[in-house]
Chain A
Amino acid sequence: MTDDGGGIRTRGVRRAFGTVHAVVDVELEARPGRVTALVGPNGSGKTTLLLMLAGLLTPDAGEIRVAGLDPVTRGRAARARIGWMPDVFGTWESLTAREVLLTVAAAYRMTADDAARRAVELLDLVHLTELADAPAHVLSRGQKQRLGLARALVHDPDVLLLDEPASGLDPRSRVDLRLLVRRLAAAGKTILISSHVLTELDEMADDAVFLSQGRTVRSQSVDDAAAERRAWRIAALSPRLLADWLTTAGILAQVDTDGTALVELDGDEAAVALLRDAVAADVPVVSLSPAGGALEQAYLRLEEERR
């Protein structure tokens, strides 16, 4: 098979567990140098898909290429280039953070010297240097999550599969995660992140693939999602003036109890126009901002369409 330039590509991927159809039909493309978000509700098949991409599970049908390799027929070669961070982070509780990384490095056939150096680098990268020699069971959930990320990076993979990496992370660590992921993407890695916390993906992802009941229901870039029609929230010093102006201007809006209003707008330009009009009409506008992230809105809209 030909190397199609790395990244992740799937076509018509299907996988059932007995009578449960976890993944029915997934089309996905994640390009090198970009962060792709895998979005979908619980049970939509995200984890199953990632297991197939990581080479742990065979698809019942369909085609998968990770870093240009088929994880089924060329599993080991593919695994050498894949970093996988599972959602349920099982860890060897009695080992220290450093030992965990050394073990994984040895499992990737790195020499002891390289492994030791790599462990130091990665512990520093995920800010666990101070806890390097503490047993893993004293680590908090967020710290374990960071250790899990370091573990996925041990062999410097080209493709990163991160299953809910931000769950359990404090805000500080989330920011770090975002910067790290962006930096890895800038270095040319392909990154696929699954999550159902969409606001955090907004700032991280370039592209998004929406899964629902095991199917790809939409693939788009995050910028496109932002440019789509979505809800904006407008707030004014005087809710009454705002409501009056909205009514006279004939703008369909939903006025909340706190006096702010939700308006459906087609992208940023429509927002600029609305703000200009409101200010021109002497409405004391305080703020106008998208109500929720672009992905979140795209996702919710998708759910509505499906009903």
Chain B
Amino acid sequence: MSIETDRGTEVPPSGATPQKVPASDWSLSWQGVRTVAQLELRQRVRSTRWKIALVVWFVAVGLITLLTSGAVTMIFDDPSMGADGAGRTMFGVVVFFVLFLGLLVAPALTAPAINGDRSAGTLATLQATLLTPAEIVVGKLLAAWLAALAFLAASVPFIVWAFAVGGLPFWSLVSVLLMLGIVLGIVCAIGLGFSTLTAKTSGSAVLTYLTVGGLSVLTLVLFGLSVPLVTTTEQVRTWDVPVDYDWEDTEPPECEWRIQTQEVFHSERTWWLLAANPFVIVADAQPLAGTEEFENAADPLTLIQYGVRYARTGPAAEQDWCGDMWFSNGGDLTADPPVEEQQPSQSLVWPWGLGIYVMLGAGGIVTAVRRLRIPVHRLPKGTRVA
């Protein structure tokens, strides 16, 4: 009996491809990145969980859009409200919700990407090849980002629907979608970094959610808590009712300039805390609406943008304490007070936030690459190489 001829055990020579050995751990080649990204995407596309998640996402965003549409139609039915407000409000609510959901989904896409592979025994298989750590990390990030963008794409019909109601410049649609994509990509990068730091996938997921939650909520809390630190007692020029004004008088008061000692909140020193908030970054990416549009809109996006821009401007140099009195006394409103109205800052806030995010994302990538270098000296607790 000849086994050799029956079931050929001849070892064929491999292809003639000369091996190109990459120079360093940080070398990146398109082939390497594509190989890893393709591997990741293939596995993701074939899992049913992922398809269900996409469907649930589509339905959830659709439902919110439908409800918002109903509410907006009711509110803005009043012809005194501008139609501009309806479109802006609906757009703001839908985008806000998509970002909220996106921040919930993105960490789940990368937090288990590396420690999950490690416990499944497939990470070392890749590491033992000629792929560089950078290629593995970037490939995984690219795949996760594309997955996040797929979720975003599933919500584009609804965002466009809201936009189509009208009243927004086209640039709003573009910049908001762009910023949503960038923010989700950076959250993916942060998750990838954590994925190399913990042995368990649950650990890295918790750390990523804490980071995202911290940026979304803690920035706001810190901004609030820092108020006493940046509040000073100052002399402020106010346009006020004369001291000798008789409040029983039916005549409106003749207001005058006075210098008063007041507590002044210098938010222009702490506004950057808000810049690190993902909702602020997305909200601020749209062109600043005019005051009139702002007053008509009731959506979170415009409110956030105005809030943070006012915070950046800081306290007004002079204050009008007279106008308010006049209102309550039914005074003559046609006489404009000589006080200059405080305007929201025209300086962009989002570039600062984006800067912070790019640094966080880069930190995630650098951490991941460093932790994927082989041969390893020290193994993280509870892990094995293969």
**A156-193 toward B: CB 8 Å interface, digit per residue (1/0)?**
10000000000000000001100110011001000000
Known: A90-B124, A108-B129, A109-B31; 12 extra A-B contacts, CB below 8 A, are A51-B386, A79-B128, A86-B124, A90-B117, A92-B39, A93-B43, A110-B17, A175-B3, A179-B3, A179-B9, A183-B9, A187-B11
Instruction: Give Cα distance in the complex from A74 to B11, angstroms.
Output: 28
A79-B15 in contact given A56-B385, A86-B125 (Cβ < 8 Å): no
Instruction: Give Cα distance in the complex from A94 to B50, angstroms.
Output: 13
A125-B121 in contact given A54-B128, A56-B128, A94-B46 (Cβ < 8 Å): no
**A3-45 toward B: CB 8 Å interface, digit per residue (1/0)?**
0000000000000010000000000000000000000000000
Question: Across the interface, do B7 and A176 meet the contact criterion of CB distance under 8 Å?
Answer: yes
Can you report 22 A-B residue pairs in the complex whose CB atoms are below 8 A from each other? A51-B385, A56-B124, A76-B22, A77-B21, A88-B121, A90-B124, A90-B386, A92-B122, A103-B39, A106-B35, A108-B129, A109-B29, A109-B31, A114-B17, A118-B14, A155-B19, A156-B13, A156-B14, A176-B9, A179-B3, A183-B11, A184-B11
Question: Across the interface, do B31 and A94 meet the contact criterion of CB distance under 8 Å?
Answer: no
Whether B74 sits at the interface, judged by CB under 8 Å, is: no
Contact of B377 among A58, A93, A95, A104 (CB under 8 A): A58
Question: Across the interface, do A103 and B35 meet the contact criterion of CB distance under 8 Å?
Answer: yes
Question: Across the interface, do A58 and B375 meet the contact criterion of CB distance under 8 Å?
Answer: yes
Whether A52 sits at the interface, judged by CB under 8 Å, is: yes
Closest-by-CB residue of A relative to B129 is A107
Most buried by B among A55, A79, A127: A79
| Chain B residues touching A, range | 35 or more
A91-B15 in contact given A107-B130, A108-B129 (Cβ < 8 Å): no
A56-B374 in contact given A108-B130, A118-B15, A154-B14 (Cβ < 8 Å): yes
Question: Across the interface, do B130 and A90 meet the contact criterion of CB distance under 8 Å?
Answer: no
Whether A261 sits at the interface, judged by CB under 8 Å, is: no
Whether A117 sits at the interface, judged by CB under 8 Å, is: yes
| Chain B interface residues (CB < 8 Å from chain A) | 3-4, 7-17, 19-22, 29, 31-32, 34-36, 38-39, 42-43, 46-47, 117, 120-132, 374-377, 379, 385-386
Instruction: Give Cα distance in the complex from A155 to B39, angstroms.
Output: 18
Most buried by B among A71, A156, A183: A156
B residues within 8 A CB of A184?
11
A residues within 8 A CB of B17?
109-111, 114
A109-B13 in contact given A56-B385, A103-B39 (Cβ < 8 Å): no
**A62-85 toward B: CB 8 Å interface, digit per residue (1/0)?**
000000000110011101101010
B residues within 8 A CB of A93?
43
Instruction: Give Cα distance in the complex from A28 to B126, angstroms.
Output: 27
Instruction: Give Cα distance in the complex from A99 to B126, angstroms.
Output: 14
Closest-by-CB residue of A relative to B135 is A107
Instruction: Give Cα distance in the complex from A139 to B7, angstroms.
Output: 20
Whether A57 sits at the interface, judged by CB under 8 Å, is: yes
A residues within 8 A CB of B386?
51, 56, 86-88, 90
Instruction: Give Cα distance in the complex from A57 to B127, angstroms.
Output: 11
Closest-by-CB residue of A relative to B20 is A109
A residues within 8 A CB of B379?
17
A126 → chain B closest CB, angstroms? 10
A residues within 8 A CB of B21?
76-77, 80
Task: Report, nearest first, the 5 A-B pairs whose CB atoms are least far apart.
Answer: A90-B121, A114-B15, A156-B14, A107-B129, A121-B12
A residues within 8 A CB of B31?
106, 109
B residues within 8 A CB of A54?
128
Closest-by-CB residue of A relative to B118 is A90
A104-B129 in contact given A95-B43, A114-B17, A156-B14 (Cβ < 8 Å): yes
A residues within 8 A CB of B117?
90
A residues within 8 A CB of B10?
125, 183
Question: Across the interface, do A124 and B125 meet the contact criterion of CB distance under 8 Å?
Answer: no
